[in-house]
């Protein structure tokens, strides 16, 4: 049986490996996961705490996995994701490559005229509270966008690493409201920051946002913008993005969504554009950019999307397209 390590008696109280025991009246091996992990990172601690067995380590690993794998739904929860390892670290040994991959890398597209990332005017990425999963309301209060509920997930894979989940990348997503307006830019909502947010990818490479279905404004197929950054710190400069693209909303649900009262002009605008004629998706009718979706207008929609990112290529996002939205 392994020897139970004895603490050193110091003027401040019992200590082990130079660290005061969190629970002075209990054995070293009963100090809890937090103390165990701090001890395990030293060579002496690894040898001395063998008596702990795999239990403490397993418990710690399970706690971390549970935290990273569960989608968060509040700004306080999402703030915890800021400590996620940077994108340069590969996925954990237990991770597997993402199944049902698109046939190629996500196309690099324009961020449009209303990015809010500092590349064209205001920069919401410098705002405290931008790391959040629920993006329906402006940061810190203010207006809440009305519309058909939509929860959308983006799974990012690392093509340079065998399409393993790109854990730790930061994804900034934004889109227009039910009237085709972009917060921070469009008339009447210049002081709002709704429908914009950042999430850090979990161990599956996935981020999830709670939002509303975007409108169809004049000249564009309905869509959601997103940028992928190596890590959260990199969002301070839009030129750090390793991918900039757009997701096309599926035609199969548009008629139902745009028949609801919040989308006053979308039906008419949609009648004037197709995926083939859209100035972003028109190259291939958005073959690599269409989301999968389930749900209905009453209960809301849930969508998923896989974006393959190749860090060995240089991002080449284009200029802003014509026919911008929300100038009403």
pLDDT, tens only, 233-270 = 999 999 999 999 999 999 999 999 999 999 999 999 99
Q: How confident is the model at residue 145 (pLDDT cuts 50, 70, 90)?
A: very high
* DSSP SS3 for 197: strand
* Residue 225, token pair as written in the block: 């913008």
* Chain mean pLDDT for the chain: 80
| Share above pLDDT 90 across residues of the chain, in percent, rounded to a whole number | 64
DSSP assignment string, 100-133 = S--SSPPPP----S---BSTTS-BGGGSTT-B-S
- Shared domain for 99 and 153, answered yes or no, is yes
Is residue 228 within 8 A of residue 241, CB to CB? The reply is yes
The per-residue pLDDT for range 45-101, each reduced to its tens digit, is: 333 333 433 333 333 333 333 333 333 333 333 333 333 333 333 333 335 677 789
We report the CATH number of the domain holding residue 178 as 2.60.130.10
Candidates 43, 47, 51, 39; CA nearest to 4 is 51
| Judgement on whether residues 162 and 269 belong to the same structural domain of the protein | yes
191/189 Cα distance (integer angstroms): 5
Residue 314 is predicted with a pLDDT of: 87
Residue 40 domain-assigned (yes or no): yes
Model confidence over 151-204: pLDDT tens digits?
A: 999 999 999 999 999 999 999 999 999 999 999 999 999 999 999 999 999 999
Q: Are residues 138 and 253 in the same domain?
A: yes
Same domain, 124 and 243: yes
Say what the pLDDT of residue 249 is: 98
- Residue 323 lies inside a defined structural domain of this protein: no
**Are 137 and 30 part of one and the same domain?**
no
How far from each other are the two terminal CA atoms of the chain, in whole angstroms? Answer: 76
| Domain hosting residue 93, numbered range | 73-309
Q: Are residues 219 and 248 in the same domain?
A: yes
Identify whether residues 56 and 196 lie together within a single domain: no
* pLDDT score of 129: 97
Same domain, 255 and 113: yes
Share of the chain above pLDDT 70, in %: 70
Question: Are residues 56 and 129 both part of a single domain?
Answer: no
Q: Taking CA 48 as the corner, what is the angle to CA 44 and CA 51, rounded to the nearest 5 degrees?
A: 150
What residues have CB less than 8 Å from 234, skipping those under 6 apart? 170, 240, 241
Say which residues have a Cβ less than 8 Å from residue 128's Cβ, sequence separation at least 6. 139
Q: How many domains does the chain have?
A: 2
Q: How far apart are CA 314 and CA 311, in angstroms?
A: 7
Residue 316 located in a structural domain: no
Q: What's the token pair of residue 77?
A: 């929860």
Distance, C-alpha 255 to centroid of its chain = 28
Is 280 in a helix, a strand, or coil?
coil
Which of 16-25, 207-216, 311-320 is predicted with the least confidence, judged by mean pLDDT?
A: 16-25
Whole-number Å distance between alpha carbons of 112 and 194: 17
- Tell me the mean pLDDT in the region 204-233: 98
Question: Is residue 10 very low, low, confident or very high in pLDDT (cuts 50, 70, 90)?
Answer: low
- Separation between Cα atoms, residue 217 and residue 325, nearest integer Å: 5
Helices marked H in the chain — which ranges? 33-40, 43-48, 54-69, 75-79, 251-258, 266-270
Q: Is residue 114 part of a domain?
A: yes
Compute the average pLDDT of residues 100-121: 95
């Amino acid at each position: 049986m392994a020897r139970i390590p004895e603490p050193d008696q110091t003027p401040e109280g019992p200590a082990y490996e130079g660290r005061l025991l969190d629970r002075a009246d209990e054995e070293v091996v009963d100090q809890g996961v937090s103390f165990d992990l701090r001890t395990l990172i030293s060579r002496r601690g690894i040898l001395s705490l063998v008596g702990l067995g795999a239990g403490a380590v397993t418990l710690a690993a399970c706690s971390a996995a549970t935290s990273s794998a569960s989608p968060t739904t509040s700004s306080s929860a999402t703030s915890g994701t800021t400590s996620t390892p940077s994108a340069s670290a590969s996925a954990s040994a237990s991770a597997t490559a993402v199944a049902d991959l698109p046939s190629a890398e996500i196309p690099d597209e324009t961020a449009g005229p209303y990015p809010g990332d500092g590349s064209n005017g205001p920069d919401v990425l410098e705002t405290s509270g931008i790391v959040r999963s629920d993006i329906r309301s402006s940061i810190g209060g203010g207006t809440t966008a009305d519309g058909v509920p939509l929860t959308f997930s983006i799974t990012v894979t690392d093509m340079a690493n065998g399409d393993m989940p790109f854990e730790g990348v930061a994804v900034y997503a934004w889109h227009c409201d039910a009237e085709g307006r972009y917060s921070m830019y469009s008339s009447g909502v210049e002081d709002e920051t709704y429908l914009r947010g950042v999430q850090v990818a979990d161990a599956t490479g996935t981020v999830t946002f709670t939002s509303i279905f975007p409108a169809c404004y004049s000249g564009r197929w309905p869509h959601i913008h997103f940028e992928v950054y190596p890590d959260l710190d990199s969002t301070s400069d839009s030129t750090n993005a390793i991918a900039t693209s757009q997701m096309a909303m599926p035609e199969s649900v548009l008629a139902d969504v745009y028949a609801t009262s919040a989308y006053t002009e979308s039906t008419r605008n949609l009648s004037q554009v197709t995926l083939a004629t859209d100035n972003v998706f028109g190259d291939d009718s958005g073959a690599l950019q269409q989301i999968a979706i389930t749900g209905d207008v009453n209960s809301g929609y849930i969508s998923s999307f896989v974006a393959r990112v190749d860090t060995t290529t240089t991002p080449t996002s284009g200029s802003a397209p014509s026919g911008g939205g929300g100038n009403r």
